[in-house]
A and B are shown apart, each in its own frame.
Chain A
């Protein structure tokens, strides 16, 4: 079975993000890194193809920059990459992203498409579902565990109460949560080998994909400053105050 993993290059979250004036689009530096949440998808893909000897292809949309993030996925062990880069895609929303990814994925034969539940820089959280819809395959989402067996895939789908067990036929799209597997650290050899792996770069023209009707970012509001925490002194009944607080926040 071949697996395709959707991954994203994002600006290093350790650095301050800047937005372009007017459009409110995120300014993407030359050096971007692999979104940490995508490491889980890549690891999952690598583990799933191991027994059958299939391939793992990563697919990514966005400005290539130095390509560092893509090569990080290749260094973990993915076999090759498809990168869709087109200036006309600047500022595209979830639907356009899903269309573009679907067009790219459709060029390959695959058993499973894996994506993270949401990217760390965009957080829309709907691309995997849209992608499945466009590809016309089932979407299995929020997986905390994934198993593939003779033409079917079974996941544990995380819910508020615990998890659901969801099974579907292949091919399918699965979105995985952080923690589904422990991502490996690339080996030194893997990093060097990644330099020789193929990264196929495609434009919108190559794909014949179309941009979806526009989403506009009208305004941006600064997040509220964090307020000072509340200290509960323990005179033996602190647990009650904590229970009350959790109940007030509807955590319990």
Chain B
């Protein structure tokens, strides 16, 4: 597998010119972050992930994490040392609150650090991703004692966190969770039940693991309304707060998977020894689903990031190969010599397609991350609310649009290689295998589309969507003075209008109570929405690049315009082709004899 070199100019450009890092830097508490500091931090982070984590990606795939006869997980060679370096350098804690010993950076910078980790080594990055989710859940819903006991160790990365939702009968529908939690006289609980598919459910990197587990208390109402969240440590803390007695939790087995082999996917048994696993209620009883969602939302953005990360790695891998593979003669030239395949228009199209999609996805990711910062730190209630609404609306889009594209781009990356891409040794194949989980976990992409249509589009009577569409349309004015962007502008105008139309159509179906028709079109609608958002932000990038901002070389800016135009003129137009699928209703789907 080729190495990974973070494209720092592209990252800093997207941060500052597309996602408006400046406006985040002005928020209370973030005054330290200007473009220069961001570049410094991300330059060092990038070096760390490319030198320390990227080389372990192949090792992790080959060896995988394994279950030892003692029932614990052993991670691949080098993971333990690398994890220690990661924690020691403070990368895990960089964007977490200073109150708990974190670095206090904005979320948007944390997102870039995480993106780099995922690009270097997606399977490994899941451990801190879930830990960050656990921090978030405890920060919002934990008791003071709980925070005092656990949060700093999770922030620093000294311990990791996990998310235990799924059970054999409860996947997309978590209302079916059966794991039992019985209240004891001392106020603690004992848990009994089986959880499956638990990512990093055990490991040998840290002295303790903090599981957040969804379970049901006796007599609770059925469905999601009866679910509560519990904190269940692998080792129960002793009086000094150190890991003490082993809790009644067992890793029954690890799954054999298509990809992310380094990430142990555990079947976990709680209370198998009969004593029950000691757990502590997080938040109120029966509020477990809601509380888990605070951590799921960030995790969904985190999974969306995997589309960007895999796409970037696939691009770098394919680009390196295309520059060195000699095959065929130049088309339209007179030389009889064979050329490197990057000279062929069709290969260039593939490379550009990957790159333009990656840069569009990255733009959306950073814009969403910035809303995450505004949601918490903006100085007016109005801005905080807008940011919250935008974040909620765009979260399922980031999750599903980016991860679907991640798989497609990893596949295209293989195509660039020809036969060598299909051979494991080359490394392109691992990217495709790894990418495939992202559309499934943290809520399948189908569930994301439903979330978008049923829960996000109707917010404020559709005003959040129409407000966003109006803002997109405003970008058309900034494009007008640039002749080079004339065709892009035309395509964007048409695409925005098309999105407005499908949104209205869906809104009408919802009002009419025709949910089946609305949901039949949910997935193509989400795809259309993502594609148009990509067009809008690539337009913003092109306009910014044409204004020659300081800190970037002219060559870089010129290339950015080219990539943006390629997206706008050749990829964006498919958005409207999805409209018939969005508006097709359920008739044909229901009519087919499946």
A interface, CB within 8 angstroms of B: 14, 29-31, 33, 66, 68, 71-72, 75, 185-189, 191-192, 194-195
Provide 6 A-B residue pairs closer than 8 Å at the C-beta atoms, listed in order of the A residue: A33-B43, A68-B43, A71-B40, A188-B94, A191-B44, A192-B32
Nearest CB of chain A from residue B36's CB, rounded to whole Å = 6
Interface string of B4-34 (1 = CB under 8 A from A): 0100000000000000000000000000100
B39, B48, B103: the one contacting A185 at CB < 8 Å is: B48
Q: Contacts A14-B5, A192-B103: A187 and B40 contacting too (C-beta < 8 A)?
A: no
B39, B40, B52, B103: the one contacting A189 at CB < 8 Å is: B103
Q: Is the CB of B37 within 8 A of A195?
A: yes
Q: Is the CB of A195 within 8 A of B32?
A: yes
Chain B residues, Cβ within 8 Å of A191:
40-41, 44
Interface string of B87-108 (1 = CB under 8 A from A): 0111101100000000100000
Interface presence of B47 (CB below 8 A)? yes
Chain A residues, Cβ within 8 Å of B93:
188
Q: Is the CB of B43 within 8 A of A185?
A: no
Q: Contacts A68-B39, A71-B40, A72-B44: A188 and B5 contacting too (C-beta < 8 A)?
A: no
Complex: chain A residue closest to B551, CB-CB: A30
A29, A186, A195: the one contacting B44 at CB < 8 Å is: A186
B43, B47, B85, B89: the one contacting A188 at CB < 8 Å is: B89
Complex: chain B residue closest to A14, CB-CB: B5
B534-552 interface (Cβ within 8 A of A): 551
Q: Contacts A29-B553, A30-B551: A188 and B103 contacting too (C-beta < 8 A)?
A: yes
Expressed in whole angstroms, the Cα–Cα distance for A148 and B52 within the complex equals: 31
Q: What are the 7 tightest A-B residue pairs by CB atom distance, in nearest-first order?
A: A188-B90, A187-B89, A187-B90, A188-B94, A185-B48, A186-B44, A188-B103
> Told that A188-B93, A188-B94 touch, could you supply 7 new A-B pairs with CB distance under 8 A?
A68-B39, A72-B43, A72-B44, A75-B44, A186-B89, A191-B40, A192-B103
A14, A29, A75, A185: the one contacting B40 at CB < 8 Å is: A75
Chain B residues, Cβ within 8 Å of A192:
32, 37, 41, 103
Chain B residues, Cβ within 8 Å of A71:
40
Complex: chain A residue closest to B33, CB-CB: A192
Complex: chain B residue closest to A12, CB-CB: B8
Chain A residues, Cβ within 8 Å of B43:
33, 68, 72
Q: Contacts A14-B5, A29-B553: A188 and B41 contacting too (C-beta < 8 A)?
A: yes
Chain B residues, Cβ within 8 Å of A31:
39, 551
Nearest CB of chain B from residue A240's CB, rounded to whole Å = 29
Nearest CB of chain B from residue A27's CB, rounded to whole Å = 11
Q: Tell me whether chain B's interface is mostly helix, strand or loop, or mixed.
A: helix
Chain B residues, Cβ within 8 Å of A72:
40, 43-44
Expressed in whole angstroms, the Cα–Cα distance for A70 and B52 within the complex equals: 23
Chain A residues, Cβ within 8 Å of B90:
187-189
Interface string of B459-491 (1 = CB under 8 A from A): 000000000000000000000000000000000
Expressed in whole angstroms, the Cα–Cα distance for A90 and B162 within the complex equals: 56
Nearest CB of chain B from residue A42's CB, rounded to whole Å = 13
Chain B residues, Cβ within 8 Å of A186:
44, 89
Expressed in whole angstroms, the Cα–Cα distance for A30 and B41 within the complex equals: 17
Chain A residues, Cβ within 8 Å of B85:
185
Nearest CB of chain A from residue B75's CB, rounded to whole Å = 20
Nearest CB of chain B from residue A215's CB, rounded to whole Å = 28
Expressed in whole angstroms, the Cα–Cα distance for A29 and B553 within the complex equals: 8
Nearest CB of chain A from residue B10's CB, rounded to whole Å = 13
Chain A residues, Cβ within 8 Å of B32:
192, 195
Nearest CB of chain B from residue A227's CB, rounded to whole Å = 14
Complex: chain A residue closest to B9, CB-CB: A31
Q: Is the CB of B36 within 8 A of A185?
A: no
Chain A residues, Cβ within 8 Å of B44:
72, 75, 185-186, 191
Q: Contacts A29-B553, A192-B103, A195-B32: A185 and B41 contacting too (C-beta < 8 A)?
A: no
Nearest CB of chain A from residue B530's CB, rounded to whole Å = 32
Nearest CB of chain A from residue B131's CB, rounded to whole Å = 16
Expressed in whole angstroms, the Cα–Cα distance for A185 and B87 within the complex equals: 12
B519-561 interface (Cβ within 8 A of A): 551, 553
Nearest CB of chain B from residue A30's CB, rounded to whole Å = 7
Nearest CB of chain A from residue B463's CB, rounded to whole Å = 40
Chain A residues, Cβ within 8 Å of B103:
188-189, 192
Chain A residues, Cβ within 8 Å of B91:
188
Q: Is the CB of B5 within 8 A of A185?
A: no
Chain B residues, Cβ within 8 Å of A188:
41, 89-91, 93-94, 103
Expressed in whole angstroms, the Cα–Cα distance for A68 and B47 within the complex equals: 14
Nearest CB of chain B from residue A71's CB, rounded to whole Å = 6
Nearest CB of chain B from residue A147's CB, rounded to whole Å = 26
Interface string of B65-89 (1 = CB under 8 A from A): 0000000000000000000010011
Expressed in whole angstroms, the Cα–Cα distance for A2 and B21 within the complex equals: 40
Chain B residues, Cβ within 8 Å of A29:
553
Chain B residues, Cβ within 8 Å of A68:
36, 39-40, 43
Q: Is the CB of A66 within 8 A of B88?
A: no
Complex: chain A residue closest to B47, CB-CB: A185
Expressed in whole angstroms, the Cα–Cα distance for A58 and B499 within the complex equals: 57
Nearest CB of chain B from residue A72's CB, rounded to whole Å = 7
Chain A residues, Cβ within 8 Å of B40:
68, 71-72, 75, 191, 194-195
Expressed in whole angstroms, the Cα–Cα distance for A118 and B36 within the complex equals: 28
Nearest CB of chain A from residue B191's CB, rounded to whole Å = 36
Complex: chain A residue closest to B94, CB-CB: A188
Complex: chain B residue closest to A71, CB-CB: B40
Chain B residues, Cβ within 8 Å of A195:
32, 37, 40
Q: Is the CB of A185 within 8 A of B52?
A: yes
Expressed in whole angstroms, the Cα–Cα distance for A187 and B47 within the complex equals: 12
Q: Is the CB of A187 within 8 A of B88?
A: yes
Q: Name the residue among A75, A185, A195 with the largest chain B CB count within 10 angstroms.
A: A185
Expressed in whole angstroms, the Cα–Cα distance for A30 and B44 within the complex equals: 18
Nearest CB of chain B from residue A164's CB, rounded to whole Å = 32
Chain B residues, Cβ within 8 Å of A185:
44, 47-48, 52, 85, 89
Nearest CB of chain A from residue B56's CB, rounded to whole Å = 15
Chain B residues, Cβ within 8 Å of A75:
40, 44
Expressed in whole angstroms, the Cα–Cα distance for A195 and B44 within the complex equals: 14
Expressed in whole angstroms, the Cα–Cα distance for A72 and B90 within the complex equals: 16
Chain B residues, Cβ within 8 Å of A30:
551
Expressed in whole angstroms, the Cα–Cα distance for A31 and B39 within the complex equals: 10
Nearest CB of chain A from residue B399's CB, rounded to whole Å = 27
Complex: chain B residue closest to A67, CB-CB: B36
Nearest CB of chain A from residue B224's CB, rounded to whole Å = 39
Chain B residues, Cβ within 8 Å of A14:
5
Nearest CB of chain A from residue B113's CB, rounded to whole Å = 9
Chain A residues, Cβ within 8 Å of B89:
185-188
Complex: chain B residue closest to A29, CB-CB: B553
Complex: chain B residue closest to A196, CB-CB: B32
Expressed in whole angstroms, the Cα–Cα distance for A228 and B36 within the complex equals: 43
Chain B residues, Cβ within 8 Å of A187:
88-90
Expressed in whole angstroms, the Cα–Cα distance for A189 and B551 within the complex equals: 25
